[in-house]
Structure 1
Amino acid sequence: MITKSALKKQIEKFPEEFTIDELVERIIFIEKLESRIQKSSDNDTISEEQLDEEIQKWFR
């Protein structure tokens, strides 16, 4: 979940004029990034070996 303060910081970085689509894209990106950071902090990640195994399954 994104916080108001994070959203405010991002809006400040925008140019004076921007489209709603650009804003929505940035909000989605920030939310995904925050989610991944939280998962990493919670050690909710997979090892490189597990990742390699998953990738091998994709190409079978």
Structure 2
Amino acid sequence: MLSKEKVINVINKLPDEFSVEEIIDELLLLEKIDRGLAQSSAGDVIADEDLDKELPEWLR
């Protein structure tokens, strides 16, 4: 989950004028990164060997 502080930091890094799509894209990216880091910290990851086996099926 995003915090106000992280959202404010994203907004502060944007130019003075930006589109709604730009802020949404930035916030979605931030949320996905946070979720991935949390999953990694929790050990909810796939080993490289398993990924090599599953990737061809995912790409169908």
| TM-score, normalised with respect to structure 1 | 0.90
Pairwise CA RMSD of aligned residues?
A: 1.5
Aligned length: 60
Corresponding residue of 2:5:
5
Structure 1 segments, 4+ long, off by >2 Å, are 56-60
1:40/1:12 CA distance change after superposition, 3 Å:
same
Shift, 1:2, TM fit = 1.0
Letter matched to residue 55 of structure 2: I
2:28 maps to amino acid: I
Measure, in 2, the Cα distance between the counterparts of 1:9 and 1:55. Answer: 35
Matched AA of 1:34: D
| Equivalent in the alignment of 2:21 | 21
Q: Which runs of 5+ in 1 are unaligned?
A: none
TM-score by length of 2: 0.90
Identical aligned residues as a percent: 33
Q: Map Cα deviations across residues 8-60 of structure 1 (whole Å, 9 max, x no partner).
A: 11111000000001000111111011000000011110100010010233468
